[in-house]
Amino acid sequence: MNGRGMNVFIRSGQTAAATACRGQVMLRCGVVLCGAAGPRVGLLRVAAAWLLALMVAGCGGGSTSETGVGAASRDSQPAAAVDSPVNSGKVADRSAAGGLDASLPQAFAFELMGVDTGVDFQQTSGNSPDKPFPGANGTGCGLIDIDLDGRPDLVFANGAKFPIADGETETPDRIYRNRGGWRFSDVTAEVGLVNWGYSCGIATGDLNSDGFPDFYLTRYGVNQLWLSLGDGTYEEVGEEWGVADQRWGTGAAIFDFNRDGIADLYVCNYGQWDWESSLFCGDREKNVRIYCSPSHVPPQGDVFYRGDGSGAMLDVSEATGIALPERRGQGVLAADLNEDGLIDLYVANDIHPNSLFLNLGQRFQEQGELAGIAFDHLGQSQAGMGVAIGDINGDARPDLLVTNYQNEHNALYTSIGEEAWLETGVQSLPGALPWVGWGVVLADFDFDGGADVFVTNGHTDDNLADLSKEGEYLQPAGVWQKTATGFRLVRCRGEYFAEPHAGRGLAAGDLDGDFDADLVVSHQDGKPAILQNRSVDPPRQQLAVQVQLVGTRGHRDARGGVLTAISEAGMQTWFAAAGGSYASASDSQIVLSPAGDGAFDLRIRWPDGSREEFSGLSRGNRIAIVQAIDEAAGSRLIQLPR
């Protein structure tokens, strides 16, 4: 108990949690609600919400072990026999293009931009009949404005073939400069990005507060920090800065955790695996291998670096409380989740409980189970991959979404206040059970005032049919439209959705300057998809606003800030979080689509907890809001060129 109100334990069939509670309320399926004396959230209201969710979702599932390996997790074993096929849910009628039910409604339109864009990147996953484990997880992509021209540029992390040879240069990471008009040019060599080995994920941010965005590459191998020199070129300084970690990095986030104005860095680490000791999983008699379960890859602890302002970062993982427990981290998101002016961390872990690190000022406290966002609604761990944040019900609170493995629904955690969340994904986001979800974006694709969901899917194994196992390697993208009553699974218009894909990374940003969210999707052993959002009519596009927050009393990126637009037609909230998705980085500029068509007011909660409001803003503009150095003074609003 943290003494700040209501906390939620969700453990099906377990009673141990009750011994840690005072004033508990017992519900169905072994759920225990715990509240401190005099909670600010009423027990009856929270209990009613849990009862409703449990009646809709039902009870069931096996218990979760102490290691967090749930019954529905990836479970291929290193043995001669074949595992029994999984019993997955299905999308009813696969006659439609892309493998989706033909009766699903259509919503959204994304145009697949072709070879004339100049993006000729081809991803190498490392997948082979030998099934090297990193090849299952793939690599991510990122949007970063390397030349500060207002147009997001593209970065692609690339893998390598196993075993990896020193000096391998056949599959370098790539950077493409956005020239406008959906034309990109390969500037990898010009920028200085010459490397070898296996890159996994990308995090972006201004690490030295010089106004130019830098990026961090997580790798199976030595992680790299690429620092902008301000002239369009970059220098690799990972060793010099003390962040050249050799553990298997995945997701990462750059933000200021202690409000000293200096960027800090959180890095998810996956597990301990090497080529020489790789296990055989599958059927030895048929000589068919599949990827082993993550349970056969011992976890590695995540790492947290504190910037010291002198061009170095210090490993403060143990001192800040994030070193334990060790879990297979994949997606990480940094945002102020409890509105106390301090940036917290939410980490999606693979068949381990998800982690919530609440920021106490100089250290973190893990509170995932107490908050109700460590497990699914049945109290089981899932195979968490990507993570997203948004306000799905208009209450201005941060809701969280985690993508998961086949036979596991994508988990949707709706905030009910007081550091507690309600997991409702099984009924809120129907149809995802047959898929393996990776990158995820929560964004209002059609400017109707609701945050929609886009998930890129793809199985880990491309040879399941050889063992009569269920699961398609190529899978359709999962897209859910926000409605007045929840979400509905939809089909999208566009060439990309006519075929399934082996998706992994996903990043969002306004690539063409028309104010809506375009998408970049990375695929296993294929070309990326660059998707132009065509879901918004041009007149409606002109009613949006693009905002760049610039911090002064904290770090200049202002990651962790919150924007709320209020108009006569309603209220919408956006979160300027760091990290998110799977091994990918979305654009730092925030596209606001306020309801209605007249002037609107904009409320800002800066990462340090201070608040201010701008009244009567007009639409159709790009603006930068520069935080006032003195809190008593007002922040500056600067018009930017479109």
Summarised one tens digit per residue, pLDDT across range 112-145 is: 998 899 999 999 999 999 999 999 999 999 999 9
Mean pLDDT of 538-545: 92
pLDDT above 90 covers a percentage of the chain that reads: 77
Mean pLDDT of 431-454: 95
Tens of pLDDT, residues 242-276 = 999 999 999 999 999 999 999 999 999 999 999 99
Mean pLDDT of 102-109: 94
Bridge partner list, 563: 574, 604
Q: What pLDDT is recorded for position 569? A: 86
Q: In what order do the strands lie in the sheet with 561-567?
A: 570-576, 561-567, 600-605, 611-617
Q: What pLDDT is recorded for position 92? A: 43
User: Does the pLDDT at position 83 exceed 50?
Assistant: no
**Helix, strand, or coil here: 484?**
coil
Q: What pLDDT is recorded for position 97? A: 63
How far apart (Å, rounded) are the C-alpha atoms in residues 96 and 102? 4
User: Does the pLDDT at position 38 exceed 80?
Assistant: no
247: left (phi over 0), alpha (psi -120 to 50) or beta: beta
Lowest mean pLDDT among 53-57, 69-73, 152-156, 214-218: 69-73
User: Does the pLDDT at position 42 exceed 50?
Assistant: no
pLDDT above 70 covers a percentage of the chain that reads: 84
**Exposure class string for 332-343: b at 16+ Cβ within 10 A, else e:** bbbbbbbeebbb
User: Does the pLDDT at position 72 exceed 50?
Assistant: no
Q: What pLDDT is recorded for position 389? A: 98
Q: What pLDDT is recorded for position 166? A: 75
How far apart (Å, rounded) are the C-alpha atoms in residues 121 and 128? 20
Inter-residue contact 376 to 397 (CB < 8 Å): no
Bridge partner list, 345: 334, 357
